[in-house]
């Protein structure tokens, strides 16, 4: 399973990249706005670190505009994946961009039928937003289970990128279902690494080591 960071913060990306547990990055207009920096500048810096998959979202709402933005974004770096929204215009743009060889991440997916359509038009990734479903009383993980089943039934090559992840249990459940990727905030990835018993155990080992005769 691949682990992505859902952020536009270079500091956060660099930290996880240097540890060696990061497979990719997803951004969206909200995350980019938080950084207060130019979009392309941020994208170039992320790609320069060597991150092999960096999703960058179009903001046009019509197909022509999405195509123009998508074609521009993909030229920035070979690691760029173009993010198109799950709308009729977004599906049209995805189909055309995919035919041109551009890898497209279809975002804002909230139903299994939407995921089916994204796969049919040639999306490389589909991004179901599970946290936002949980927020309104629907079990987001059920959607992941359905999409994974449908893609397996028809051998769609589209990868399931679990998005809107809020806590480590989301990652655990997604991994058990067999989702391809989970993208998460830095705080969640940190929690995957840490465990209080690891810290307590290490402190005890170091303390006991002081009692071992040296020299
Ligand atoms: C995915 O690519 C989105 O950027 C993201 O996961 C949205 O998450 P949120 O619901 O926490 O905003």
The partner residues of 160 in beta bridges, in order of sequence, read: 126
Give the range of the structural domain holding residue 166, as residue numbers without chain letter. Answer: 2-209
Give the DSSP H/E element, type plus range, for residue 194. none
Cα of 170 from ligand 1 centre, angstroms: 13
Say if 95 falls within a structural domain: yes
Mutate to test the pocket of ligand 1, among 5, 28, 85 (most ligand atoms within 8 A of CB): 28
Residue closest to 4 by CA, chosen among 32, 26, 19: 26
Question: Bridge partners of 83?
Answer: 57, 105
Q: What is the pLDDT of residue 167?
A: 98
Residue 164 CB less than 6 A away from ligand 1? yes
Whole-number pLDDT of residue 215? 83
Instruction: Please state the atom number of ligand 1 nearest to the C-alpha of residue 31.
Output: 4
- 129-140 in b/e form (b: 16+ CB < 10 A) is bbbebbeeeeeb
Q: Which residue's CA is minimally distant from atom 6 of ligand 1?
A: 164
Number of structural domains in the chain: 1
Residue 86 within a domain: yes
Clarify whether 83 is annotated catalytic: yes
Q: Per residue in 93-141, pLDDT tens?
A: 999 999 999 999 999 999 999 999 999 999 999 999 999 999 999 999 9
**Gap between the Cα atoms of 4 and 137, Å rounded:** 26
Would the pTM of this model clear 0.75, i.e. be above it? yes
Longest dimension (CA), the chain: 73
User: Residue 215: inside a domain, yes or no?
Assistant: no
Q: Is residue 105 part of a domain?
A: yes
Report the CATH number that the domain containing residue 146 is assigned in CATH. 3.20.20.70
With contact defined as beta carbons under 8 Å apart, do 66 and 104 qualify? no
Per-residue pLDDT of the chain (215 residues; tens, 9 = 90+): 999 999 999 999 999 999 999 999 999 999 999 999 999 999 999 999 999 999 999 999 999 999 999 999 999 999 999 999 999 999 999 999 999 999 999 999 999 999 999 999 999 999 999 999 999 999 999 999 999 999 999 999 999 999 999 999 999 999 999 999 999 999 999 999 999 999 999 999 999 999 999 98
């Amino acid at each position: 399973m691949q682990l992505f960071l859902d952020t536009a913060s270079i500091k956060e990306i660099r930290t996880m990249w240097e540890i060696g547990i990061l497979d990719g990055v997803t951004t969206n207009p909200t995350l980019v706005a938080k950084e207060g920096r130019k979009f392309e500048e941020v994208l170039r810096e992320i790609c320069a670190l060597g991150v092999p998959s960096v999703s960058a979202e179009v903001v046009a709402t019509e197909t022509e505009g999405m195509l123009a933005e998508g074609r521009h974004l993909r030229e920035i770096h070979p690691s760029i994946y173009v993010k198109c929204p799950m709308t009729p215009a977004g599906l049209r743009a995805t189909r055309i961009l995919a035919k041109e060889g551009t890898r497209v991440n279809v975002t804002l997916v909230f139903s299994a039928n939407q995921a089916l359509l994204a796969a049919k038009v040639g999306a490389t990734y589909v991004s179901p937003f599970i946290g936002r479903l949980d927020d309104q009383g629907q079990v987001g993980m059920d959607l992941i289970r359905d999409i994974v089943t449908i893609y397996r039934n028809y051998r769609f090559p589209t990868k399931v990128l679990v998005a809107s992840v809020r806590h480590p249990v989301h990652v655990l459940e997604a991994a058990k279902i067999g989702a391809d990727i989970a993208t998460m905030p830095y705080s969640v990835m940190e929690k995957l690494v840490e465990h209080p018993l690891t810290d307590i155990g290490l402190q005890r080992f170091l303390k006991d080591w002081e009692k071992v005769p040296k020299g």
